[in-house]
Amino acid sequence: MKPLSFAALLLTTLLALTGCSGTANDGSPIAVESFQAMGTTVHLEAQGERTKRQSAIEDARAEVERLAALFDAHTEESDIARLNAKRQITAEDDTVRLLTQVKTLSAATEGRFASTIAPLRAVWQNAASEGRTPTEDELAQCLSLVNDNRIWIDGDSIALPAAVTIDVSRPAQGYIADRVIEIFEAHDLGRGLIAFGGAVDENSGTTSYDN
């Protein structure tokens, strides 16, 4: 089975199980690990020779945690949090690649996907707290800020204009999943799986690898 693409994971919401080992449907042993990252539970499974599956799980978790430290907007020293706070930063290569993909996805969907949606979300949340819908003026004011073309990238330098903030939690999960699948492939596993949040179900968007 080919891994799902970066964009395909955007709507994945899967619940992770817990534990350190288990068996697959065919009775073969698997390594299993669940932990917190990017504000949700990450669930990993690796099936194959014992040393391979355990090494794959350890390497995959380390990579998930490394990338989460760059992408989590709620982690003060992450690239995304620093960008939102400082407006311009020198970013790590993975952050540059992720935001380049985000801009490409936004363009491909004609803006239907936007990482700069935070102002619009805030207007709706504020209106909902007051038991009403946003006014046309409120929406017009924030919609001018919802535009991923306003993310400026030049080499390792990334900048945002004033009042624009980004949230890349969903596309970051897809980026991380693609990287984990690469790790599983490198370890020559019989099977590997990564899931974020919700119920683990390989037919509902979980990213998996079969050799």
State pLDDT tens for residues 70-129: 999 999 999 999 999 999 999 999 999 999 999 999 999 998 899 998 888 889 999 999
| 128 contact partners, CB below 8 Å, separation of at least 6 | none
User: What is the residue-wise DSSP string for 119-187?
Assistant: HHHHHHHHHHHTTSPPPHHHHHHHHTT--GGG-EEETTEEE--TT-----HHHHHHHHHHHHHHHHHHT
The pair of three-digit structure tokens given for residue 133, joined into one six-digit string: 């819908």
CA triple 32-36-38, angle to 5 deg: 125
Q: Can you tell me whether residue 45 is helix, strand or coil?
A: strand
- In tens digits, the chain (211 residues) has pLDDT values of 344 344 333 333 222 323 345 555 555 678 999 999 998 999 999 998 888 999 999 999 999 999 999 999 999 999 999 999 999 999 999 999 999 999 999 999 998 899 998 888 889 999 999 999 999 999 988 888 899 999 999 999 999 998 899 999 999 999 999 999 999 999 998 889 999 985 444 433 455 556 5
The pair of three-digit structure tokens given for residue 131, joined into one six-digit string: 């038991």
Query: How far is Cα 68 from Cα 78, in angstroms, rounded to an integer?
Result: 8
pTM: 0.79
